[in-house]
Copies of this chain bind each other. A is one copy, B any other.
Amino acid sequence: MVQSRDAERTRSELLEVATEVFSEQGYSGARVDEIAERTRTTKRMIYYYFGGKEGLFLAVLEAAYRRIRELEQSLHAGDLEPVDAIRRIAELTFDHHVNHPDFIRLVSVENIHRGRHMEKVESLRELGAPAASVLDEVLARGRASGELRADVDAVDVHMMISAYCVFQVANSATFGFLFGRDMLAPEVRERHRRILGDIVVGWLTAR
């Protein structure tokens, strides 16, 4: 297999495939040989670029988390009235989760290992802040105008939204099985999306 050299392509291809394999099989279940086989390069390159299996997983985790920034950047909450902004944030978060199932599954994998890996990646330490501060700003405006209740904080709201969105993706297999419901079906998704908006807005506008 003679092939023109392209360090960047090799690196990113490994990351891409590794994201898939780790999210499908978990950390221990993922096989270094399998990841390599699914790319156009060899196992040797995993050790060359990432130092080993764990280094590769760390890189995958970091790249995945970094992609969340897209989310905060894509919503210009400041342009909207507080109530509309809240619904918008909820719906955008929902869409983001649905569109990045691999990421959500990686988070599950990392939680099973009690966050042992992510603690080693310093750059992930303050990745939560943006999401919280966007919500915080909206809550402050709503509080000032009297449209939103004053006794909840941004992180609690974010948690509620995350919980609902993560569940859609992370637990679709078991929940779908136990209740005979296809969580991936478009019309089901659409209803869940609307319900989430209703719940959050209802909660925050109650007095």
Q: Which A positions have Cβ atoms within 8 angstroms of B?
A: 23-29, 105, 107-115, 118-119, 124-125, 127-128, 132, 152, 155-156, 158-160, 162-164, 166-168, 170-181, 191-192, 195, 198-199, 202-203, 206
Contact = CB atoms under 8 A, between A and B. Distances in A.
Contacts of A162: 167, 171, 175
Nearest to A118: B177
A105 B181 CA distance: 22
Contact of A202 (B132, B177, B192, B203): B203
A110 B167 contact: no
Which 7 pairs between the two chains have the least Cβ-Cβ distance?
A128-B178, A163-B167, A115-B173, A28-B29, A28-B28, A128-B179, A111-B173
A180 B170 CA distance: 23
Given A28-B29, A203-B202, A118 B174 contact: yes
- Interface of A (DSSP majority class): helix
A157 B154 CA distance: 24
Contact of A112 (B105, B115, B119): B105
Copy count, this protein chain: 2
Contact of A191 (B105, B156, B171): B156
Contact of A26 (B29, B128, B164): B29
Contacts of A155: 179, 181
Q: Among A108, A127, A168, find the residue whose CB has the most chain B CB atoms closer than 10 A.
A: A108
Contacts of A173: 110-111, 113-115
Nearest to A176: B115
Contacts of A119: 177
Contact of A203 (B167, B176, B203): B203
A179 to B, nearest CB: 5
Q: Among A25, A124, A125, A162, find the residue whose CB has the most chain B CB atoms closer than 10 A.
A: A162
Contacts of A132: 179
A163 B166 CA distance: 8
A202 to B, nearest CB: 5
A68 B35 CA distance: 38
